[in-house]
Structure 1
Amino acid sequence: MLKAEYQTRGPVPQDVIEPVEFEKPQLKEGEVLLELLASPINPSDVLTLTGQYGMLPPLPAIGGNEGVAKVIEHGPGVNAPEIGQTVLLPVGIGTWRTHFVVAADKLVPLPNEADPLQLSMISINPPTASLMLSEFVDLQPGDWVIQNAANSGVGNYLVQLASIRGLKTVNIVRRESLVEPLKAQGADVVLVDGEDLPERVKEATGGAAIKLGIDAVGDTATGRIADCLAEGGTLVNYGMMSGKPCKISPSALIFSGVSLKGFWLARWFEQASTDEQQRVYGELTQLIIAGKLKAPVDSTYSVSDIKDAVAAAAQGGREGKILVTA
């Protein structure tokens, strides 16, 4: 049994994490033993290793925040979930490990027939995309949304969910090679970022009034998205991929009335009711089962190869998510 553990943080994320052996724990009343099926490496996971994320776990810690596993052994007093059942791992428990001991009543069963690689990514990016499309602006079919980092995990899900809901998307990327893959996923407009972005967006959309903007980059990229919005539009920031604070012009704030807001899924979890959470995840699960919602997977790595996995996730130029498997 292996766990991907780090005892320090540093600028090179793969240098601080390593696979560590551990012995099978004794199961207590109400617990089950799980075996990992898959767990993604998200940008927030990499930032946690470098110490740049907004909320850092105490050290030493195990990497990973989401994933799916299968039940392989019951502890005393446990009858469900059944042996072999695919389950959603609780968020934030350190999911880059081959095996887990978890209280049975904390597990959410998932359909065994669904692709575990796709299910492993359901906890964070899909609900982030879904909620940003619904929580800030009352969008109607035919409305436009603009986002940058459109080829990211959240960006890919946002394109698909917007299409399902009848919304149109303008998607901003950093290089030309990303244009066609995004269009193949249903993106209406894909443009490479640049100083003249507002003019090109206006031309591509026929001057449509864009009510909602989504920013994951920060720095001057935030301001370029703001300048594409209609008067009174809302700009939602959920990341800082540039490593720099959001920069938005006084003109956009004062004369165009653009409002800048932030979104963090962890805070939504704190405030949302159980029924609200179940509604969101129920919808996403059904879309994944139906094959209507999916994310590209670049490659998979075992826990024993966690250094290579983190290195691959930290470098740019990928065309999909890096996943950790047992």
Structure 2
Amino acid sequence: MKRAQYAERGPVPQDVVEAVDAELPPPGPGQALVAVLAAPINPSDLLQLTGQYGILPPLPATPGNEGVGRVLALGPHVENVHVGQVVLLPAGSGTWTTQMIADAASLLPLPSEADPRQLSMLTVNPPTAWLLLTEIVDLEPGDWVIQNAANSAVGGYLVQIAKHRGLKLINVVRRESAVAAVKELGAEYVLVDGEDLPRRVKEITGGAKVALGIDAVGGAATERLAHCVGRGATVVNYGAMSGEACHASPADIIFRDVRLRGFWVSAWYGAATPQRKIEVLGKIAQLIASGELSAKVQATYPIERIKEAVAAAAAGERDGKILLVP
């Protein structure tokens, strides 16, 4: 078997990772041997390679925070999965590998008819989008929501989940060339960010309250979202694509009672009950299996081409996800 590995961190992620040969023991009691079918390369993976993420595994390490596999063999005392079953791999388990040993109890059975490439992206971005629309503020069908970075991976899922929930979503992008891709996902309202964003949002809503702002950019973009939402509304930040701290005006925070808070899906995984995790991931898996929820894939790579894959994932203005297909 082969797996990706890095023994140091550095500013150029593809320079520190390489494909190495490895061997695995047979699965022990309560364990499963799983063949990895697909594993995405996420921004969080790249930040772990560069040492800039909130959680850094001890070195040497095999990257990969999510993926999907097929059970090849079982050790004694395993009852929740069977050989041949498609399963979701445990979060943060080092999925950039051809095969892995996992605790069987941590494997979530998935619909076998679904595209494994789409299922491989189940752990990080779809739950982030789902939870941003369900656990920050109470939203009802017909409510207005605004998001920036709408052409990002999470942004694409937000477009689809908002439609599923009957929400009215205004989508903001940072360049005109990104508008078409967001509209292809079914978005009705797509705007290019700018100083006059609040005026254009008000024209779309007819002055109705925007209940939630979802920010992945930070910096002045956060403040522009705060200008767009209604009195007493919430702006939630889950990313910092600008590399800048979130800006917030006292006029919004004090006089309009706009609340600014953060969200990190890793923290949710640490706090949620096992039943809640199964509930959320199971619902998303059903939407993926039905074709109602999907993400565009730009390219797939084998483990042997890990450096090329990481470089492609780190490149700007991609048109879809980079996946490893061991």
Q: Aligned AA for 1:294?
A: S
Moved more, 86-95 or 265-274: 265-274
Aligned Cα RMSD in Å? Answer: 1.3
**TM-score where L is the length of structure 1:** 0.96
Residue of structure 2 equivalent to 1:82? 82
Residue of structure 2 equivalent to 1:318? 318
Q: C-alpha deviations, 1:215-266, integer Å up to 9, x for none?
A: 1111111111111111111000111112221111111111111100111112
| Distance (whole Å) between structure 1 residues aligned to residue 289 and residue 315 of structure 2 | 30
Q: Aligned AA for 2:36?
A: L
| Distance (whole Å) between structure 2 residues aligned to residue 274 and residue 76 of structure 1 | 23
Moved more, 97-106 or 209-218: 97-106
Q: C-alpha deviations, 1:97-141, integer Å up to 9, x for none?
A: 111011222211111111101111111111111111111211111
Number of residues of Structure 1 aligned to a counterpart in Structure 2 = 326
Residue of structure 1 equivalent to 2:208? 208
Task: Confirm or deny that 1:56 pairs with 2:63.
Answer: no
Q: C-alpha deviations, 1:22-54, integer Å up to 9, x for none?
A: 123233222221111001111111111111112
Contact 2:41 2:323 in 1 (8 A): yes
Residue of structure 1 equivalent to 2:222? 222
Residue of structure 2 equivalent to 1:14? 14
Q: How does 1:134-213 map to 2 (within 5 A)?
A: 134-213=134-213
Task: Confirm or deny that 1:269 pairs with 2:269.
Answer: yes
Q: Aligned AA for 1:277?
A: K
Q: Aligned AA for 2:83?
A: I
SS at 2:132 equivalent: helix
Q: Aligned AA for 1:44?
A: S
Q: Aligned AA for 1:3?
A: R
* Unaligned segments of structure 1, at least 5 residues: none
Aligned in 2, Cα 1:77/1:138: closer, same or farther, shift over 3 Å? closer
| Distance (whole Å) between structure 2 residues aligned to residue 135 and residue 104 of structure 1 | 29
SS at 2:247 equivalent: coil
Q: C-alpha deviations, 1:42-98, integer Å up to 9, x for none?
A: 111111111111221121111110010111122344466222211100000111111
How high is the sequence identity, in percent, across the aligned residues?
58
| Distance (whole Å) between structure 2 residues aligned to residue 139 and residue 8 of structure 1 | 44
| Distance (whole Å) between structure 2 residues aligned to residue 325 and residue 196 of structure 1 | 44
Contact 2:64 2:96 in 1 (8 A): yes
Q: Aligned AA for 2:261?
A: K
Moved more, 73-82 or 205-214: 73-82
| Distance (whole Å) between structure 1 residues aligned to residue 55 and residue 80 of structure 2 | 33
Residue of structure 2 equivalent to 1:249? 249
| Distance (whole Å) between structure 2 residues aligned to residue 9 and residue 251 of structure 1 | 42
Residue of structure 2 equivalent to 1:307? 307
Q: Aligned AA for 1:252?
A: D
Task: Confirm or deny that 1:131 pairs with 2:131.
Answer: yes
* Unaligned segments of structure 2, at least 5 residues: none
Structure 1's consecutive aligned runs of 4 or more residues displaced over 3 angstroms after TM superposition are 76-80
